[in-house]
A and B are shown apart, each in its own frame.
Chain A
């Protein structure tokens, strides 16, 4: 029973983080593409800012993934 709860907790950790990060990164990418379409000569700057923002959001998902790894290692 405890193993099941631990597995469920790990699943919840990754699911919430993945959904939130996907939504947020999708919005960021949309705005970035709009900006590049409007001003193609700024594409380099926009791309760097986009990558930095995406990585910062990705980090939050990675925190959830780390918790999931730590939990899964406690099963059994």
Chain B
């Protein structure tokens, strides 16, 4: 990785890279926004609370189409966290200084792989919680017990594809924007950044939609 994504300092045995610092800043900003939006809840909402309510409503509608009613109610917070985190992460690549002053989190395989591993653990947890240990493990033998290796491979490949899809898209966007900036600065990157607006959102949505369908499949 380039120097801006390198290791900055170490806390004990863990190395803190530029991407981790960017994620900390993101978390701080989002936490402050959430606190401000819910500080004094009114029946006739102010602008920030209105925005928060709009976000929750849209997310609820989005997941209602993808998950069963019980799963949607139970797992809305986790899924929305994934979605908002990936969305803000992708859009941080549009801020001035991205790539040179700070590292975009999702443009590194480490971050997307971490997200994919978290998604994998969450899927298994959801499946075990909904069906219990034995029934969930037995479901790998359905519909026909010879399918066991295929089902296992499928479970392993899903997080790989999630991680690589997100990493490839965002890293590709950042790299193309940079190269276009070398060719014709200030004007040509605008084209790619416009596409980044669209594709950043789509990638966040696809990650979350796929996670929802995996959870739905695991909880039957």
Binding site for B on A (CB under 8 A): 45, 48, 51-52, 55-56, 58-59, 62-63, 65-66, 69
Contacts and interface: CB of A to CB of B under 8 A. Distances in A.
27 contacts: A45-B65, A48-B65, A48-B66, A51-B202, A51-B205, A51-B206, A52-B209, A52-B210, A55-B202, A55-B206, A58-B165, A58-B169, A59-B161, A59-B164, A59-B168, A62-B164, A62-B165, A62-B168, A62-B169, A62-B172, A63-B164, A63-B168, A65-B172, A66-B167, A66-B168, A69-B171, A69-B172
Interface of B: 65-66, 161, 164-165, 167-169, 171-172, 175, 202-203, 205-206, 209-210
Main secondary structure of the interface of A (DSSP, over half): helix
A45 B126 CA distance: 25
B203 A55 contact: yes
A74 to B, nearest CB: 16
A58 B210 CA distance: 14
| B contacts with A: majority SS | helix
Nearest to B213: A52
A56 B166 CA distance: 11
Given A51-B206, A52-B206, A65-B172, A59 B165 contact: yes
Q: Nearest 9 CB-CB pairs, A to B?
A: A62-B168, A55-B206, A59-B165, A66-B168, A52-B209, A65-B172, A62-B169, A65-B168, A62-B165
B168 A48 contact: no
Contact of A66 (B66, B164, B206): B164
A62 B167 CA distance: 9
